[in-house]
Amino acid sequence: DVKVTQSSRYLVKRTGEKVFLECVQDMDHENMFWYRQDPGLGLRLIYFSYDVKMKEKGDIPEGYSVSREKKERFSLILESASTNQTSMYLCASSSRQDTLLYGYTFGSGTRLTVV
Amino acid sequence: AQSVTQPDIHITVSEGASLELRCNYSYGATPYLFWYVQSPGQGLQLLLKYFSGDTLVQGIKGFEAEFKRSQSSFNLRKPSVHWSDAAEYFCAVEDTNAGKSTFGDGTTLTVKP
């Protein structure tokens, strides 16, 4: 089975800290995505990537950046964490050829609290 | 731009009763549609998808969905709900040009004993 692993289930960080959320997938997927999930707002796309060193802004990129130095790893960076970035963060991956067959594979999420 | 609307934020059904979760989409071309389920504390899991052919599609866990182009809908159904179906359900449409999916806001399903 495809696995998407997010390094932390829960994180508590202080306002102003630089925060790294890590995501690793083990099925050689080209596409990787970062979403945040908030009650009543569904999933909102932050950034996505089609390939190594490539990135595209999603719907809510402000306050975030990403890094994809290796195909299997996609990192989300909060340069200076703020309390309004308290949320559940979900990473997902998909195969460029087979997205329509298999959809996205999601990690279990990282619940980030910024205090 | 594409969009997905799930009109029901929360639905409660009794165990053994039938279920229908609504999804309406807006997309200019042929839509590629998905339903995902999220159990508490977990990521999303694909239930089923539609991208061509038969408009009634079968998925895992006994779920099915019907694509109706005239109504821009892709409603999820199950004939008899089990307590383990309690979860949050998301409808999504894939924008093949942009290479990304847009998700609805989700519907939370509660199952009464």
What CATH number is associated with residue B7?
2.60.40.10
> Across chain A, how many H-helices and E-strands are there?
1, 12
Q: Which residues of B touch A40 (CB under 8 A)?
A: 9, 105
Note the Cα A62 to chain centre separation in Å.
14
Q: Which residues of A touch B99 (CB under 8 A)?
A: 31, 48, 50, 96, 99
CB A50 to CB B46 under 8 A? no
Residue B99: its pLDDT value, please? 80
Residues of chain A short of pLDDT 70, as ranges, are 1-2
Partner-chain residue, chosen from A33, A41, A100, that has the shortest CB–CB distance to B100: A33
Structure tokens at A30: 């080209």
Q: With CA atoms as reference, report the closest residue to B64 among B93, B33, B42, B40.
A: B33
- Provide the number of structural domains found in chain B: 1
In which region does residue B99 sit, left (phi positive, over 0), alpha (psi from -120 to 50) or beta (all else)?
left
Q: Rounded to whole angstroms, what are the CA distances from A35 to A57, B31, B58, B89?
A: 11, 21, 27, 16
Q: How many Cβ atoms sit within 10 Å of the Cβ of residue B113? A: 6
Render pLDDT for A39-54 as a digit per residue (tens, 0 to 9): 888 899 999 999 999 9
Partner-chain residue, chosen from A33, A100, A108, that has the shortest CB–CB distance to B32: A100
Contact by Cβ (8 Å): B111, B82: yes
- The structural domains of chain A, ordered by start, are 4-114 (2.60.40.10)
CB B105 to CB A42 under 8 A? yes
Please enumerate in sequence order all residues whose Cβ is within 8 A of that of A20, keeping only pairs 6 or more positions apart, or say none: A75, A76, A77
Strand B73-78, strand A105-106: pairing = unpaired
Strand B107-112, strand B10-14: pairing = parallel
CB B100 to CB A104 under 8 A? no
Domain hosting B39: range is 3-112
CB B44 to CB A104 under 8 A? yes
CB B43 to CB A102 under 8 A? no
Contact by Cβ (8 Å): B34, B102: no
Render pLDDT for B45-95 as a digit per residue (tens, 0 to 9): 999 999 888 899 999 999 999 999 999 999 999 999 999 999 999 999 988
